[in-house]
Amino acid sequence: MPFARIDLAHGKSREYRATVADIVYQGIVDVLKAPEGDRFIVINEHSPDNLIYDPHFLGMDRSPDFILIQVTSTVGNNKESKHAFYRYIADELNSKLSVRLDDVMINMVFVDRSDWSFGNGEPWN
């Protein structure tokens, strides 16, 4: 069960945001191997004052089009899957939306199934 948060600069079109969400979802299903329909994504838009990042950390050249993607998941928790997911997301964002590779930052958080409740106050077993 992945849950994705996408943080980006305020002012992107509805279509742009939808495409980013679609790319992240497709990566979650195709690369991390989550089940089809497991789509829980929140997109947050920020003013420049509220999306704070170092434009040159680790030798990158980040622009105002910087996107931060965080995925909390129980699937894909091995090095190969993580690396493939990072590459897939960056390449697809670049290909479909011309997002520069330096502008894509991804963070994965892995949790146990017992850390989720899908509703009714019941844990996921």
Helix (H) or strand (E) holding 52: none
The answer to whether residue 71 scores a pLDDT higher than 90 is yes
Task: Report the distance separating Cα 83 and Cα 64, nearest Å.
Answer: 25
pLDDT at 29: 96
Domain count, the chain: 1
* Average pLDDT of the residues of the chain: 95
| Domain region containing 83 | 3-116
Whole-prediction pTM value?
Answer: 0.94
**CATH code of the domain containing 112:** 3.30.429.10
pLDDT at 35: 92
Q: Is residue 121 part of a domain?
A: no
Q: Is residue 122 part of a domain?
A: no
Q: Is residue 69 part of a domain?
A: yes
Using pLDDT thresholds of 50, 70 and 90, give the confidence band for residue 27.
very high
